[in-house]
Amino acid sequence: MTEIKFLDVGWTRRTLAKKIDEAVKRVLDSGWYIHGDELAAFEKEFAHYAGAKSCTGVGNGLDALELSLRAAGIGPGDDVLVPSNTYIATWLAVTRAGANPVPVEPLESTFNMNPDNLEEALTPQTKAVIPVHLYGQTADMDPIMEFAESKNLFVLTDAAQAHGSYYKGRMAGSLGHAAAFSFYPGKNLGAFGDGGAVLTNDPELAAKIKVIGNYGAEKKYHHDSLGFNSRLDEIQAAVLRIKLEKLDNWNWTRKELAAIYLKELADTPLILPEVPEWSIPVWHLFVVRTTAREALIKHLAENGIESLIHYPIPPHKQGAYKDKQNLSLPVSEKLHREVLSLPMGPHLKPEQVQQVCTVIKDFFS
Ligand SMILES: *Cc1c(COP(=O)(O)O)cnc(C)c1O
């Protein structure tokens, strides 16, 4: 029996070995490793790809979120609306900027922020909202933008899982006032190390992000604000340029695999992810729901199939947020008890996904 891996980050390297080796050697030989031609070229290419005016490469996805908030003037005393069921980075970025994350419950069907819950979560201190395009599907942005505009809120989208996904014909990086991306190796567009970027159409915001992420210096050795160091290096930028050319192909493979899951698992007791008609997701993760999760994980493992939980503990139940433990967030808590991520990625063949489906149907029969 062959193993079916959940994820294989080495696969992209193996399929592009020659091109990547050449690019890395080119950077090494150039003698220029930070803020050079590769970064400038990648920023231009990624902004163009995602339909935004500007892209600023930064150190990682968490920094991309924090820098955006700080550049927008969000800080101590401010509340920021965040999904109750996101990866903890979304919350941490708010906390690190000095502000307070206020959770908003999601829609069970799509896992994304429910626009109808925004009004209730709003406080007089609310200055921003961070919709996350969770698992690779965009949040329902139009009602969120409408609400944000009526309350004068800054809208930062967390697009760390959504490189290449579409909302009503617009790409993830072009939604909201700014979009934060991560190039962590396991993301749909991943580097060989850490990396991130902020996309925006607002040149002033982009300029501020560049300054804060470069020691608060607009001019070298002139530090007008308390910045920090967050940069996307030349080697990662060179690698990302090569991988960006393949992103649509890889996302297409993910869509084909997701279509198999959706078809084959339709008649099982699993609750499948819903795709609204305005959405073209990129399936960073394929997440199903079941109350029989632990038994199913065991059955899959016995058949050589890896599965994972994204995420086992909601942010408000983490030790890091002891002050939020007592919040009542039943939708998020229920989702965290039921979600299960099945193998997904361009390293998989359709036959392998068929095999996962056969094993799941066998479990429920
Ligand atoms: C991965 C991820 C981040 C953080 O990205 P890093 O590059 O690991 O800092 C933020 N938000 C979401 C939703 C993510 O999945």
What domains does the chain contain, in order, with CATH numbers? 10-104+113-244 (3.40.640.10), 247-364 (3.90.1150.10)
CB of 50 sitting under 6 A from ligand 1: no
State pLDDT tens for residues 113-161: 999 999 999 999 999 999 999 999 999 999 999 999 999 999 999 999 9
Would the pLDDT of 2 be above 80? no
Cα 96 to Cα 294: distance, rounded to the nearest angstrom: 35
> Distances from the Cα of 103 to the Cαs of 98, 108, 149, 160, 235, in angstroms?
16, 15, 19, 19, 37
State pLDDT tens for residues 272-314: 999 999 999 999 999 999 999 999 999 999 999 999 999 999 9
CB of 86 sitting under 6 A from ligand 1: yes
pLDDT for 1 equals 56
* Residue of 84, 111, 184, 194 to mutate, ligand 1, most atoms within 8 A of C-beta: 184
pLDDT for 212 equals 96
pLDDT, mean of residues 27-40:
97
Q: How far is the CA of 363 from the centre of ligand 1 (A)?
A: 33
> Distances from the Cα of 360 to the Cαs of 19, 267, 268, 315, 328, in angstroms?
39, 11, 8, 29, 33
Q: Are 152 and 145 in contact (CB under 8 A)?
A: no
Residues forming beta bridges with residue 178, ordered by sequence position: 156
CB of 158 sitting under 6 A from ligand 1: yes
pLDDT for 134 equals 98
Cβ atoms within 10 Å, residue 218: 14
Q: How far is the CA of 160 from the centre of ligand 1 (A)?
A: 5
Q: How far is the CA of 182 from the centre of ligand 1 (A)?
A: 5
CB of 62 sitting under 6 A from ligand 1: yes
